[in-house]
Amino acid sequence: MRSASDANEREFTRFVKETEPRLSYALAAAYGIEIGAEATADALAWAWENWSKVEEMKNPAGYLYRVGQSKARRYFRPVVLFPAVPPLEAPGVDPDLHLALAHLSKNQRVAAVMVHGLGYTEREVADLLGMSRWSVRTHAERGLSKLKSELEVKIDV
């Protein structure tokens, strides 16, 4: 009995290590930093409670993203979705990036951040969001171009 539980815990640990980053970043990009963290924690807690079901799923990350979406809707939407970061913490980041992010649509933000910022493949992001690869590409491109135009490309050469 104990060993079965340990095996589950090991499997779950492996699953969390593999899935959590994608989930955390995607939910943070979708619902803001604060709610994204809460929603990710809730989704993973749900996954552990329903582990026997989750481990059988073909696309558990996509399912948990939807669980996270449901959980995120239970929280108050904060006034500031994306806080400014102190320049010392992220020196190369435009001080207006957080404002520009808030002006994108949810899908554009998630796709642009995941594909262009964090290097996930379009397929991985498509599985997570439950949309086609082409939609992800379109959202990502539009999101990135909006960000660029809003920040007026203050980039070092």
Partner 1 sequence: MSEIETQLRDYFDATVERVTVEDVLAGQRVFETIRPVTPRRTWHPAWVAVGAFAATAVVLGGTIGLGAVLTGPTGDVGSGGITGVVREATEAASWWWLLIAAIAVVIAITGALIALRRRHETHEEEEDTMATTIDAPPAETTGTADRNHRGLIVTIVVLAVALLALGAWAIYQQTAESETAAPAAVQELLDDYSAAWNDYDAEAILALTTEDFVFVNGPTTNDQAETAAIVSGGYLESIGFQAEHVGDPIVTGDGPYYAAVVIHQTITSGLNQDGISTFVVVDTADGLKVKSYVYTGPDTP
Contact residues for partner 1, defined by CB under 8 A? 9, 12-13, 16-17, 20-21, 24-25, 28-29, 33, 36-38, 40-41, 44-45, 47-49, 74-76, 82-83, 85, 89-90, 92-94, 97-98, 101, 112-113, 116-119, 144, 147-148, 151, 153-156
* Residues 6 or more apart in contact with residue 56 via CB below 8 angstroms: none
Query: What token pair was written down for 137?
Result: 């590409």
Give least dist CB 106 to partner 1, A.
15
- Tell me how far apart the alpha carbons of residues 49 and 120 are, in angstroms, rounded to a whole number: 28
- Closest CB to partner 1 among residues 94, 137: 94
Q: Are 74 and 46 in contact, with CB atoms under 8 Å apart? A: no
Give least dist CB 19 to partner 1, A.
10
- Closest CB to partner 1 among residues 57, 96: 96
Residue with tokens 């998630």: 110
Give least dist CB 34 to partner 1, A.
8
Q: Are 76 and 91 in contact, with CB atoms under 8 Å apart? A: no
- Closest CB to partner 1 among residues 12, 131: 12
Query: What token pair was written down for 154?
Result: 């203050």
- Residue 128: closest CA among 41, 35, 43, 32: 43
Give least dist CB 119 to partner 1, A.
8
